[in-house]
């Protein structure tokens, strides 16, 4: 399968473009815009331990903000036409970028054991393991 990623509006080099990304442990069967700032952000409370408390459809959430490793940026992609078959070419468009994200757990305080934190730490470990060795 071939995947094309197009950056037609230069979101990756435009410094003013920066999304607020939320990673919630659920699957939403919709592909449309949502007024997140009105329906979700307004109900989020900052706790004393720098975590967030919120809820999604009445279910309690606990979250925190994590930064991507230095030198990396995240991108928000949009696929306007989904393929009909598994092996078809796919075309995504970059619609925004981000350097940090808020991730959420179901009523569990975020910790270093969360998979998203471990994945972001692995980027730095993999970079150290695979970078060229220089003589000093």
pLDDT tens for each residue of 46-66: 999 999 999 988 899 999 999
- What total number of domains does the chain contain? 1
Residue 123 within a domain: no
Task: Tell me what pLDDT residue 41 has.
Answer: 85
Residue 132 within a domain: no
CA distance 95 to 5: 11
**How many other CB atoms sit within 10 Å of the CB of residue 41?**
13
Residues spanned by the domain of 62: 3-110
CA distance 122 to 63: 20
Residue 43 within a domain: yes
Does pLDDT of 136 surpass 80?
A: no
Residue 88 within a domain: yes
- Give the three-state DSSP class for 43: helix
Q: Residues 33, 34, 37, CA angle at the centre, nearest 5°?
A: 130
Does pLDDT of 16 surpass 70?
A: no
Q: Residues 6, 24, 39, CA angle at the centre, nearest 5°?
A: 95
Using an 8 Å Cβ cutoff, are 107 and 54 in contact? Answer: no
- Average pLDDT of every residue of the chain: 88
Residue 99 within a domain: yes
Query: 74-84: b or e for each residue (b if 16 or more CB lie within 10 Å)?
Result: ebeeeeeeeee
Say which DSSP state 133 is in. P
Residue 124 within a domain: no
Task: Tell me what pLDDT residue 15 has.
Answer: 66
Residue 117 within a domain: no
Band of pLDDT at residue 122, cut at 50, 70 and 90: very high
Q: In what order do the strands lie in the sheet with 90-98?
A: 3-6, 90-98, 74-78
Residue 135 within a domain: no
Query: What's the CATH number where 95 sits?
Result: 2.40.128.680
């Amino acid at each position: 399968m071939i995947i094309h990623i197009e950056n037609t509006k230069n979101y990756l080099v435009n410094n003013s473009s920066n999304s607020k990304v939320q990673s919630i442990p659920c699957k939403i069967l919709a592909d449309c815009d949502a007024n997140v700032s009105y329906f979700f952000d307004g109900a989020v409370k900052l706790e004393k331990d720098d975590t967030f408390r919120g809820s999604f459809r009445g279910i309690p959430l606990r979250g925190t903000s994590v930064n991507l490793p230095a030198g990396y940026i995240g991108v928000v992609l949009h696929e306007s036409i989904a393929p009909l078959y598994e092996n078809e070419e796919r075309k995504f468009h970059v619609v925004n970028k981000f350097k940090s994200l808020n991730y959420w757990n179901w009523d569990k305080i975020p910790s270093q054991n969360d998979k998203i934190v471990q994945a972001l730490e692995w980027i730095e470990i993999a970079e150290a393991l695979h970078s060229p060795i220089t003589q000093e």
